[in-house]
Amino acid sequence: MTGPLILGIESSCDETGIGIVRGHELLANEVASSVDQHVRFGGVVPEVASRAHLQALIPTLRRATAAADIDLSEVDGIAVTAGPGLAGALVVGLAAAKALAVALNKPLYGLNHLIGHVAVDLLDHGPLPQPCAALLVSGGHTSLLRVGDITADITEIGATIDDAAGEAYDKVARVLDLSYPGGPVIDKLAAEGNPKAIRFPRGLTAQKDQAKHRFNYSFSGLKTATARWVETERLAGREIPLADVAASFQEAVADVLTAKAVDACEYLGVDTLLLGGGVAANSRLRGLLEERTAAAGITLRRPRPALCTDNGAMIAVLGAEVVSAGRRPSSLEIGADSGMPISTVLA
């Protein structure tokens, strides 16, 4: 397989990721997570995450180059997440990427973290049809996209107006006295429960919401409804059916995410939907989306679960696409952009 040899660095949140690709061939994908350092706080602490990146970056880089069996002098470019994400965490990755670019005399490409979640599917399934739709679901973002040229033509048609799906999972996990992060533990617990036990609300699905919020998401109301239901049961002295609450909450999230994603595909007139982001590893979301896309005649593409969470491979392969498209390198003066808009692929 041919293509540019690209080193990718990801440090937007609590994973330090180093990926190496040659075109669409994955050579190395090493990740060091600091999640264990955030557990006692019930969420990511930016200062802790930044320090963890500082400690993990060089060892992770060494593991990646060893796994790929390359010397850093061989790479054609350095790709790095420039945003969105935690400002301090982004700065660590950017500083490392700039240092490597200068030391190796290689071009630098500051890229959008969210588009990386779309691009990573190229490593499993090859080029995306143009256009297609993408549903990105992560701890901090929930978005519906129209994807044309992945290096230059990304349009957001819907997004969360409050809590992202991943945030809602974490908050509900705290209400249920479960561990952090909430996504995996609720997903596992839900497998033992009845998803129809409690009818939790489906945000922004009422007829009155269609004109303004047809493709937008809201999980704040669902989070609050779940918390109030649990509080009412506790005040009444009743035991909380944890598995049923988890299953019912998860069903509400998956129902809204998948229904709007399929509707977006039909609205855009596309027949391919990509699922990406950390919450894309959720078993019920993947299963229900598979059912609904199949019924609608839509091809569903999903990266393997290991590539759904934050990693350097997604930045490396997006970098390879940008290089292959002949896009200009970034300036060495680019800064971290914690609010980088999703339409900006290359900083």
Residue written as token pair 């602490």:
45
Whether residue 204 contacts residue 213, with contact meaning beta carbons closer than 8 Å, is answered with yes
What pLDDT is recorded for position 1? Answer: 59
Show the low-confidence residues of the chain (pLDDT under 70): 1
* DSSP 3-state of 160: strand
Residue 40: predicted pLDDT: 83
Q: Are 64 and 30 in contact (CB under 8 A)?
A: yes
Beta carbons within 8 Å of 335's beta carbon, 6+ residues apart: 82, 94
Q: Tens digit of pLDDT for each residue in 262-294?
A: 999 999 999 999 999 988 889 999 999 999 999
The runs of H, that is alpha helices, within the chain are 35-38, 46-68, 87-104, 113-119, 122-125, 165-175, 182-190, 210-213, 220-235, 242-268, 283-296, 312-324
Considering the entire predicted model, what is its pTM? 0.95
Domains and CATH numbers, the chain: 5-120+311-324 (3.30.420.40), 131-303 (3.30.420.40)
For the four alpha carbons of 191, 194, 196 and 198, in that order, the dihedral sign comes to: negative
Residue 185 confidence (pLDDT) = 96
Give the pLDDT score at 38.
84
Inter-CA distances, 242 with 9, 62, 249, Å: 39, 43, 11
The answer to whether the CB of 26 falls within 8 A of the CB of 327 is no
